[in-house]
Amino acid sequence: MSSDTLGTLLSPSLPALSSCPPARRVPAFAPLRVGPARYRLRPVLRRRRRTASGALALAAAVLAVAGGGQAAQASRGAPPPAAGPPPAAVRTVSAPVRIADAATVRLLRPGDRVDVVAAGRSGPPRVVAAGARVSRVPPPAEEAGAAGDGGALVVLSVPRETARELVGAAATARLAVALC
């Protein structure tokens, strides 16, 4: 473009390139007034939500206090709770038990739960102690057996009656453990 063309494009005499429109008057109009808040949608919805949540809270409180009773338990198929004294706490004792397989005993750690199984020469094996807790697993140096019959020692925490059965079973059968 030449300088003459540029000058004619930028000249103020051209009406197409003026920067602002001609001035006009703004028509008169009445002011816009917003109605009262009670006709708006948001407060109405908020009020309904508050009412619904209050009703639900009240219903939950009534159901919690009522509890349903025995009729509700019977309708669910649950037997009514037995009235009686709470079960007495079972006192446990530590029972040292020689297990026939020493490698199995090395897998045990204090706190493990085991089933002790007695396998006699005649008859099927039977569970002597179910869910017994392992109290201690002595290292092999401490457990040199006087009889020299092999196996490994483990100390179990069991009820007194179960300890008697373990001693009797150990005298007549080989004992094994199964991790629970």
Residues of the chain by 3-state class (helix, strand, coil), percent to 5: 40, 20, 40
Quote the tokens at residue 68: 């349903």
Whether the Cβ atoms of residue 104 and residue 177 lie closer than 8 Å to each other: yes
What average pLDDT does this structure show over 129-135? 94
pLDDT of residue 27: 85
Q: Which percentage of the chain shows pLDDT scores above 70? A: 68
For 122, phi and psi rounded to 5 degrees?
Answer: -120, 140
Contacts 24+ apart (CB under 8 A), 164-167: 165/128, 165/129, 166/95, 166/97, 166/116, 166/128, 166/129, 167/95
Cα angle: 158, vertex 159, 163; to 5 degrees: 70
List, for residues 52-106, the tens digit of each pLDDT value.
Answer: 888 889 888 888 787 766 566 556 666 666 667 767 777 899 999 999 999 999 9
Confidence of residue 130 (pLDDT cuts 50, 70, 90): very high
Q: What ranges in the chain are assigned the alpha helix state H?
A: 3-9, 41-66, 69-75, 102-106, 160-172
Contacting residues for 145 by C-beta, under 8 A, at least 6 apart: 98, 151, 153
Mean residue pLDDT of the chain comes to 79
